[in-house]
Structure 1
Amino acid sequence: MRSVLALDLKDDAELIAQYEAHHRRIWPEIARHLRQHGVTAMEIYRLGTRMMMIMETDDAVFDAAAMAAATADDPKVREWEELMWRFQAPTPWTPTGQKWIPMTRIFDLAGQAGEEDQED
């Protein structure tokens, strides 16, 4: 399954540079944690302070609640999350206590009629 999520960064060029540096090579424990919980691919994009994450998961393994519980139980993952929160900020639409918030898909080219399907 593909999920697209949004989060903001604090509007500080130095903090943004540090955040990006941390993501050039994440801690091995974080990569392992993600993979163990069914995350098969993840990409993060940034425009200004707004970030978008595309996350692919294996439906047979991924369980958001179980992953959240494992995060709370793992000191190294908690340390990473606390470090990242130094740089991150909730979007104006993010409920209190949450970080990454799912985005709503409003367009999918695959669902559109192709040129070959249209009559002249």
Structure 2
Amino acid sequence: MKRYCFALDLKDDEAVIAEYEGIHRSIWPEIHKSIIDAGITVMDIYRTGNRLFMIMETEDDFSFEKKDAMDAGNPVVQQWEALMWTYQQAIPSARPGEKWVMMKQIFSL
């Protein structure tokens, strides 16, 4: 198992945030399948204010390159990502075009 943690911001608008949370209470079945098919075994998203924190656990052979290729070839995933970006905004430290920014682990017990 591998674990990855990411950060992303939502647009700082209570109505936008509420709508985003509502969509995530019942994600599209094709999105759920694409996550599982990529080798992701756990995906949890937490929010404080407009900041999101995602924990992803994956199979040992998980590859971001493979997931990116799968997503690029899936029109439903592309539609989902375009919709999500209407709610999201990059965190200040993101590179141009980067959405979810991988966080560096600084402590482990």
Same fold (TM over 0.5): yes
Alignment of 1:36-55 (within 5 A): 36-55=37-56
Segments of 5+ residues of structure 1 without an aligned counterpart are 110-120
What does residue 108 of structure 2 align with? 108
Q: CA deviation at 1:107?
A: 1.2
What does residue 77 of structure 2 align with? 77
Q: Equivalent residue of 1:19, what SS?
A: helix
Q: Equivalent residue of 1:91, what SS?
A: coil
Amino acid at match of 2:53: M
Q: Equivalent residue of 2:81, what SS?
A: helix
Give deviations 1:31-82, integer Å, cap 9, x for gaps: 100100100001000000111000000022x110111111111110000000
Alignment of 1:46-65 (within 5 A): 46-60=47-61, 62-65=62-65
- Share of identical aligned residues, percent? 48
What does residue 96 of structure 2 align with? 96
What does residue 86 of structure 1 align with? 86
Q: Which aligned runs of 4 or more in structure 1 are off by greater than 6 angstroms?
A: none
> How many residues in Structure 1 have an aligned counterpart in Structure 2?
108
What does residue 117 of structure 1 align with? none
Separation (CA, whole Å) in 1 of partners of 2:66 and 2:4? 17
Amino acid at match of 1:74: N
Separation (CA, whole Å) in 2 of partners of 1:106 and 1:98? 22
Separation (CA, whole Å) in 2 of partners of 1:64 and 1:106? 22
Cα RMSD, aligned residues only: 0.7
Give deviations 1:81-111, integer Å, cap 9, x for gaps: 00000000000001111111111111112xx
What does residue 68 of structure 1 align with? 68
Range 100-109 or range 14-23, more displaced:
100-109
